[in-house]
């Protein structure tokens, strides 16, 4: 039987981290640069990687930042918030991963534009184990971030599967673009963006509780 893969983004997919990311970033701008920005300002940069996430808003406000310093402070703020507001796995995630792990047809991967030191604690905080995934790729492993398809192309290569046998699970428009540009199927979850912004995806759900290995295999002919 045909082997296929589920490739998960992290923020907004495995855990609903986007609100916490935005708050941590807004706090960083206030602390380092004395500038008040709004959490909604970060929306267009969801999924583009830690550097672009802060640079994009800095450009909007005309603020000159040191990207490395800004990203590090943002991460410190994020973990401080996370300690007081632990994030469970998004609905349906643990069940879908568990089902995939019992199938001899499905391989599992994580592909996130975020940095390893930030994303690994988020992943493990949900109750997921990194060793459950055949391939784990972070922003540290690529030179071009979403919407460029590089991260998903690399995931496919490491999985040893052609694009048409890979299903990417995304929550952001740039992630959907990256997945489709890589020639892969895309399942979008409306965690961080409305359905209309995710219209390029092949299938859109409000929660992964609505997805199963069987329904996805049928939907995408796998």
The Cα–Cα gap between 167 and 185 comes to 5
Residue 11 catalytic? yes
Q: How far is CA 139 from CA 5, 142, 183, in A?
A: 20, 6, 20
Contacts of 29 (CB under 8 A, 6+ apart): 35, 36, 37, 57, 58, 61, 63, 70
Strand residue runs (E) in the chain: 4-8, 106-111, 135-137, 166-170, 185-189, 203-205
The Cα–Cα gap between 97 and 90 comes to 12
Residue 41 catalytic? no
The Cα–Cα gap between 65 and 89 comes to 33
Catalytic residue annotation: 9, 11
């Amino acid at each position: 039987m045909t082997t296929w893969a589920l490739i998960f983004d992290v923020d907004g997919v495995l855990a609903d981290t986007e609100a916490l990311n935005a708050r941590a970033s807004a706090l960083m701008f206030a602390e380092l640069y004395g500038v008040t920005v709004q959490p909604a300002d970060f929306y267009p940069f969801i999924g583009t990687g830690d550097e672009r996430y802060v640079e994009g808003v800095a450009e909007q406000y005309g603020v000159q930042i040191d990207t490395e310093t800004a990203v590090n402070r943002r991460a410190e703020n994020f973990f401080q918030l996370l300690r007081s507001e632990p994030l469970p796995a998004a609905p349906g995630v643990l069940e879908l991963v568990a089902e995939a792990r019992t199938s001899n047809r499905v391989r599992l991967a994580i592909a996130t534009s975020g940095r390893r030191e930030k994303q690994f604690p988020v992943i493990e905080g949900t109750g997921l184990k990194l060793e459950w995934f055949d391939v784990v790729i972070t922003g540290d492993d690529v030179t071009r971030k979403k919407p460029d398809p590089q991260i998903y192309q690399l995931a496919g290569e490491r999985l040893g599967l052609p694009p048409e046998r890979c299903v990417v699970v995304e929550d952001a428009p740039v992630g959907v673009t990256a997945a489709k540009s890589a020639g892969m199927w895309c399942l979008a979850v409306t965690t961080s963006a409305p359905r209309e912004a995710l219209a390029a995806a092949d299938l859109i759900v409000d929660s992964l509780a609505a997805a199963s290995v069987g329904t996805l295999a049928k939907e995408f002919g796998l």
